[in-house]
Structure 1
Amino acid sequence: MSAPTWAGVEKGTELPAQRFTFGRADLVRYAGASGDLNPIHWNERIATEVGLPNVIAHGMLTMGTVVRVVTDWTGDPGALTEYGVRFTRPVPVPDDEQGATVEVSAAVTEKLDDNLVKVTIKATYDGATVLAKAIATVRLP
Protein backbone atom coordinates (compact mmCIF):
# COMPACT_ATOMS: atom_id res chain seq x y z
CA MET A 1 0.00 0.00 0.00
CA SER A 2 1.49 3.35 -0.98
CA ALA A 3 1.51 6.23 1.48
CA PRO A 4 -1.21 8.84 0.99
CA THR A 5 -0.21 12.29 -0.17
CA TRP A 6 -1.30 15.38 1.68
CA ALA A 7 -3.11 16.79 -1.37
CA GLY A 8 -5.25 13.69 -1.82
CA VAL A 9 -6.46 13.39 1.78
CA GLU A 10 -9.57 15.27 2.82
CA LYS A 11 -11.97 15.18 5.73
CA GLY A 12 -14.08 12.05 5.25
CA THR A 13 -11.33 10.02 3.58
CA GLU A 14 -11.91 6.43 4.65
CA LEU A 15 -9.00 4.14 5.44
CA PRO A 16 -9.15 0.51 4.35
CA ALA A 17 -11.03 -1.48 7.00
CA GLN A 18 -9.24 -4.39 8.66
CA ARG A 19 -9.99 -7.33 10.92
CA PHE A 20 -7.60 -8.51 13.62
CA THR A 21 -7.95 -11.85 15.36
CA PHE A 22 -6.60 -12.63 18.82
CA GLY A 23 -6.06 -16.19 19.98
CA ARG A 24 -4.95 -17.47 23.36
CA ALA A 25 -1.37 -17.91 22.08
CA ASP A 26 -1.30 -14.18 21.20
CA LEU A 27 -2.24 -13.36 24.79
CA VAL A 28 0.55 -15.56 26.15
CA ARG A 29 3.11 -13.96 23.82
CA TYR A 30 1.94 -10.46 24.73
CA ALA A 31 2.00 -11.25 28.45
CA GLY A 32 5.60 -12.40 28.17
CA ALA A 33 6.69 -9.42 26.09
CA SER A 34 4.88 -6.80 28.18
CA GLY A 35 5.31 -8.32 31.62
CA ASP A 36 1.54 -8.06 32.17
CA LEU A 37 0.94 -11.47 33.71
CA ASN A 38 -2.46 -10.67 35.22
CA PRO A 39 -4.31 -14.02 35.28
CA ILE A 40 -7.47 -12.52 33.73
CA HIS A 41 -5.52 -12.72 30.46
CA TRP A 42 -4.73 -16.44 30.68
CA ASN A 43 -6.75 -18.16 33.41
CA GLU A 44 -10.41 -18.66 32.55
CA ARG A 45 -11.39 -19.64 36.11
CA ILE A 46 -10.01 -16.44 37.59
CA ALA A 47 -11.39 -14.29 34.77
CA THR A 48 -14.91 -15.60 35.29
CA GLU A 49 -14.60 -15.41 39.10
CA VAL A 50 -14.05 -11.65 38.83
CA GLY A 51 -17.08 -11.27 36.57
CA LEU A 52 -15.54 -11.36 33.12
CA PRO A 53 -17.14 -13.47 30.39
CA ASN A 54 -13.87 -15.25 29.64
CA VAL A 55 -10.14 -14.60 29.45
CA ILE A 56 -9.76 -11.13 27.90
CA ALA A 57 -7.23 -9.59 25.56
CA HIS A 58 -4.87 -7.08 27.15
CA GLY A 59 -6.18 -3.55 26.62
CA MET A 60 -2.81 -2.35 25.38
CA LEU A 61 -2.59 -5.29 22.96
CA THR A 62 -5.97 -4.32 21.55
CA MET A 63 -5.03 -0.64 21.40
CA GLY A 64 -1.69 -1.31 19.73
CA THR A 65 -3.12 -3.72 17.20
CA VAL A 66 -6.09 -1.55 16.23
CA VAL A 67 -3.90 1.43 15.32
CA ARG A 68 -2.39 -0.69 12.56
CA VAL A 69 -5.33 0.43 10.42
CA VAL A 70 -3.65 3.86 10.49
CA THR A 71 0.02 2.86 10.28
CA ASP A 72 -0.69 0.42 7.45
CA TRP A 73 -2.48 3.26 5.61
CA THR A 74 0.42 5.69 6.02
CA GLY A 75 3.04 3.07 5.26
CA ASP A 76 5.16 4.53 8.07
CA PRO A 77 4.52 3.85 11.77
CA GLY A 78 6.71 6.89 12.51
CA ALA A 79 4.07 9.12 10.90
CA LEU A 80 1.86 8.56 13.96
CA THR A 81 2.38 11.58 16.22
CA GLU A 82 -0.37 11.05 18.80
CA TYR A 83 -2.84 8.30 19.69
CA GLY A 84 -5.32 7.85 22.49
CA VAL A 85 -8.34 5.70 23.30
CA ARG A 86 -10.84 5.04 26.04
CA PHE A 87 -11.35 1.37 26.84
CA THR A 88 -15.08 0.68 26.83
CA ARG A 89 -15.48 -3.09 26.72
CA PRO A 90 -13.11 -6.05 27.02
CA VAL A 91 -12.40 -8.45 24.17
CA PRO A 92 -13.10 -11.99 25.45
CA VAL A 93 -10.87 -14.57 23.80
CA PRO A 94 -12.35 -18.07 23.67
CA ASP A 95 -10.19 -21.16 23.92
CA ASP A 96 -10.86 -22.34 20.38
CA GLU A 97 -9.41 -22.16 16.87
CA GLN A 98 -11.38 -19.02 15.90
CA GLY A 99 -10.26 -16.67 18.68
CA ALA A 100 -11.75 -13.18 18.89
CA THR A 101 -11.93 -10.92 15.85
CA VAL A 102 -11.96 -7.15 16.21
CA GLU A 103 -13.28 -5.23 13.22
CA VAL A 104 -11.67 -1.85 12.60
CA SER A 105 -12.60 1.06 10.39
CA ALA A 106 -11.25 4.60 10.34
CA ALA A 107 -11.68 7.92 8.60
CA VAL A 108 -9.97 11.29 8.47
CA THR A 109 -12.06 13.61 10.64
CA GLU A 110 -9.94 16.74 10.60
CA LYS A 111 -7.20 18.27 8.49
CA LEU A 112 -4.74 20.29 10.57
CA ASP A 113 -1.78 22.53 9.76
CA ASP A 114 1.71 21.19 9.03
CA ASN A 115 0.50 18.12 7.05
CA LEU A 116 -1.28 16.66 10.08
CA VAL A 117 -4.62 14.88 9.98
CA LYS A 118 -6.78 13.45 12.75
CA VAL A 119 -8.14 9.99 12.17
CA THR A 120 -11.03 8.58 14.16
CA ILE A 121 -10.95 4.82 14.57
CA LYS A 122 -13.90 2.53 15.24
CA ALA A 123 -13.09 -0.87 16.78
CA THR A 124 -15.81 -3.42 17.49
CA TYR A 125 -16.00 -6.98 18.74
CA ASP A 126 -19.18 -8.94 18.20
CA GLY A 127 -20.92 -5.71 17.13
CA ALA A 128 -20.01 -3.79 20.31
CA THR A 129 -17.53 -0.91 20.53
CA VAL A 130 -14.37 -1.88 22.42
CA LEU A 131 -12.45 1.40 22.09
CA ALA A 132 -14.11 4.81 22.31
CA LYS A 133 -12.55 8.16 21.49
CA ALA A 134 -9.90 6.33 19.47
CA ILE A 135 -8.16 9.19 17.71
CA ALA A 136 -4.80 9.21 15.99
CA THR A 137 -2.91 12.21 14.67
CA VAL A 138 -0.77 11.47 11.64
CA ARG A 139 1.81 13.52 9.77
CA LEU A 140 1.45 12.89 6.05
CA PRO A 141 4.34 13.34 3.59
Structure 2
Amino acid sequence: MSKVTPFLMFNDQLEAAIDFYTRTFPDSDVRHVARAGADGPVMSAEFVVGGQTFMGYNGGPHFKFSDGFSLFVDCVDQAEVDAYWDKLVAAGATPTQCGWITDQFGLAWQIVPRRFMELIGDEDPAKVQRVMAAMLTMVKLDVATLERAYEGA
Protein backbone atom coordinates (compact mmCIF):
# COMPACT_ATOMS: atom_id res chain seq x y z
CA MET A 1 0.00 0.00 0.00
CA SER A 2 1.27 3.50 -0.72
CA LYS A 3 2.02 5.86 2.14
CA VAL A 4 -1.09 7.96 1.36
CA THR A 5 -4.33 6.10 0.64
CA PRO A 6 -7.82 7.58 0.25
CA PHE A 7 -10.13 6.41 3.04
CA LEU A 8 -13.82 6.43 2.07
CA MET A 9 -16.50 6.49 4.75
CA PHE A 10 -19.78 4.96 3.58
CA ASN A 11 -23.09 4.89 5.42
CA ASP A 12 -23.72 1.14 5.18
CA GLN A 13 -23.04 0.43 1.51
CA LEU A 14 -19.33 -0.38 1.51
CA GLU A 15 -19.74 -3.95 0.29
CA ALA A 16 -22.08 -2.93 -2.55
CA ALA A 17 -19.74 -0.09 -3.53
CA ILE A 18 -16.70 -2.36 -3.66
CA ASP A 19 -18.61 -4.88 -5.73
CA PHE A 20 -19.73 -2.22 -8.21
CA TYR A 21 -16.36 -0.45 -8.47
CA THR A 22 -14.35 -3.65 -8.93
CA ARG A 23 -16.75 -4.85 -11.65
CA THR A 24 -16.76 -1.48 -13.44
CA PHE A 25 -13.07 -0.61 -13.57
CA PRO A 26 -10.19 -2.82 -14.76
CA ASP A 27 -7.15 -3.42 -12.56
CA SER A 28 -9.42 -3.72 -9.51
CA ASP A 29 -9.37 -6.16 -6.62
CA VAL A 30 -10.43 -6.68 -3.01
CA ARG A 31 -7.40 -7.13 -0.76
CA HIS A 32 -8.94 -7.41 2.70
CA VAL A 33 -12.40 -7.38 4.25
CA ALA A 34 -13.24 -7.22 7.96
CA ARG A 35 -16.78 -8.21 8.94
CA ALA A 36 -18.78 -7.64 12.11
CA GLY A 37 -18.86 -11.32 13.06
CA ALA A 38 -18.45 -14.34 10.81
CA ASP A 39 -21.60 -13.65 8.78
CA GLY A 40 -22.01 -9.98 9.64
CA PRO A 41 -21.86 -6.96 7.37
CA VAL A 42 -18.58 -5.61 6.03
CA MET A 43 -17.17 -3.05 8.45
CA SER A 44 -13.93 -2.14 6.69
CA ALA A 45 -11.98 -3.12 3.62
CA GLU A 46 -8.89 -2.48 1.55
CA PHE A 47 -9.57 -2.55 -2.17
CA VAL A 48 -8.10 -1.44 -5.49
CA VAL A 49 -10.03 0.40 -8.21
CA GLY A 50 -8.28 1.14 -11.49
CA GLY A 51 -4.90 0.54 -9.88
CA GLN A 52 -5.59 2.95 -6.97
CA THR A 53 -5.70 1.50 -3.46
CA PHE A 54 -8.52 2.62 -1.16
CA MET A 55 -9.57 1.93 2.38
CA GLY A 56 -13.28 1.93 3.18
CA TYR A 57 -15.44 1.83 6.26
CA ASN A 58 -19.16 1.64 7.01
CA GLY A 59 -19.31 4.61 9.35
CA GLY A 60 -23.02 5.35 9.56
CA PRO A 61 -25.34 8.05 8.25
CA HIS A 62 -23.40 11.03 9.62
CA PHE A 63 -20.67 10.51 7.00
CA LYS A 64 -21.57 12.04 3.64
CA PHE A 65 -19.57 12.49 0.46
CA SER A 66 -19.44 15.90 -1.21
CA ASP A 67 -18.10 17.39 -4.44
CA GLY A 68 -15.14 18.59 -2.38
CA PHE A 69 -13.65 15.18 -3.15
CA SER A 70 -13.99 13.38 -6.46
CA LEU A 71 -12.34 10.55 -8.35
CA PHE A 72 -10.82 11.56 -11.69
CA VAL A 73 -10.96 8.91 -14.42
CA ASP A 74 -8.43 9.46 -17.22
CA CYS A 75 -10.13 8.09 -20.34
CA VAL A 76 -8.08 7.34 -23.46
CA ASP A 77 -10.88 8.29 -25.87
CA GLN A 78 -14.59 9.05 -26.27
CA ALA A 79 -15.46 5.36 -26.32
CA GLU A 80 -13.98 4.93 -22.86
CA VAL A 81 -15.77 8.05 -21.60
CA ASP A 82 -19.04 6.66 -22.94
CA ALA A 83 -18.46 3.20 -21.47
CA TYR A 84 -17.78 4.42 -17.92
CA TRP A 85 -20.52 7.05 -18.11
CA ASP A 86 -23.06 4.49 -19.28
CA LYS A 87 -22.11 1.98 -16.57
CA LEU A 88 -22.39 4.63 -13.86
CA VAL A 89 -25.75 5.91 -15.13
CA ALA A 90 -27.14 2.38 -15.50
CA ALA A 91 -26.29 1.74 -11.85
CA GLY A 92 -28.14 4.85 -10.68
CA ALA A 93 -25.57 7.65 -10.91
CA THR A 94 -26.70 11.25 -11.37
CA PRO A 95 -24.93 13.27 -14.09
CA THR A 96 -24.14 16.81 -13.04
CA GLN A 97 -21.98 19.16 -15.12
CA CYS A 98 -18.63 19.33 -16.92
CA GLY A 99 -17.98 15.58 -16.93
CA TRP A 100 -18.95 15.11 -13.29
CA ILE A 101 -21.29 12.36 -12.17
CA THR A 102 -22.34 11.30 -8.67
CA ASP A 103 -22.66 7.55 -8.23
CA GLN A 104 -25.40 5.70 -6.39
CA PHE A 105 -23.33 5.81 -3.20
CA GLY A 106 -22.93 9.61 -3.30
CA LEU A 107 -19.31 9.64 -4.48
CA ALA A 108 -18.44 12.19 -7.20
CA TRP A 109 -16.49 11.14 -10.28
CA GLN A 110 -14.94 13.14 -13.12
CA ILE A 111 -15.03 11.14 -16.36
CA VAL A 112 -12.54 13.01 -18.53
CA PRO A 113 -11.09 12.25 -21.96
CA ARG A 114 -7.32 12.59 -22.07
CA ARG A 115 -7.74 14.79 -25.13
CA PHE A 116 -9.43 17.46 -23.00
CA MET A 117 -6.32 17.75 -20.84
CA GLU A 118 -4.17 18.02 -23.97
CA LEU A 119 -6.39 20.76 -25.42
CA ILE A 120 -6.40 22.91 -22.29
CA GLY A 121 -2.63 22.52 -22.07
CA ASP A 122 -2.18 24.48 -25.31
CA GLU A 123 -0.05 27.62 -25.20
CA ASP A 124 -2.68 29.65 -27.09
CA PRO A 125 -5.00 31.17 -24.45
CA ALA A 126 -7.76 31.80 -27.01
CA LYS A 127 -7.91 28.09 -27.88
CA VAL A 128 -7.92 27.12 -24.21
CA GLN A 129 -10.68 29.64 -23.48
CA ARG A 130 -12.85 28.23 -26.30
CA VAL A 131 -12.36 24.68 -25.04
CA MET A 132 -13.20 25.69 -21.47
CA ALA A 133 -16.29 27.58 -22.63
CA ALA A 134 -17.47 24.52 -24.57
CA MET A 135 -16.79 22.22 -21.62
CA LEU A 136 -18.86 24.43 -19.31
CA THR A 137 -21.95 23.78 -21.48
CA MET A 138 -21.61 19.99 -21.29
CA VAL A 139 -22.82 17.33 -18.93
CA LYS A 140 -20.85 14.37 -20.36
CA LEU A 141 -17.68 15.58 -22.11
CA ASP A 142 -17.62 15.13 -25.88
CA VAL A 143 -14.21 15.04 -27.57
CA ALA A 144 -15.46 16.02 -31.04
CA THR A 145 -17.22 19.12 -29.68
CA LEU A 146 -14.16 20.08 -27.63
CA GLU A 147 -11.92 19.73 -30.68
CA ARG A 148 -14.27 21.90 -32.78
CA ALA A 149 -14.13 24.57 -30.08
CA TYR A 150 -10.34 24.32 -30.02
CA GLU A 151 -10.22 24.91 -33.79
CA GLY A 152 -12.63 27.82 -33.52
CA ALA A 153 -15.33 26.08 -35.56
User: What's the TM-score, normalizing by structure 2?
Assistant: 0.21
Greater gyration radius: 2
Relative to total residues, which structure has the larger helix share, 1 or 2?
A: 2
User: What's the TM-score, normalizing by structure 1?
Assistant: 0.22
Larger RCO: 1 or 2 (CA < 8 Å, sep 6+): 1
Relative to total residues, which structure has the larger strand share, 1 or 2?
A: 1
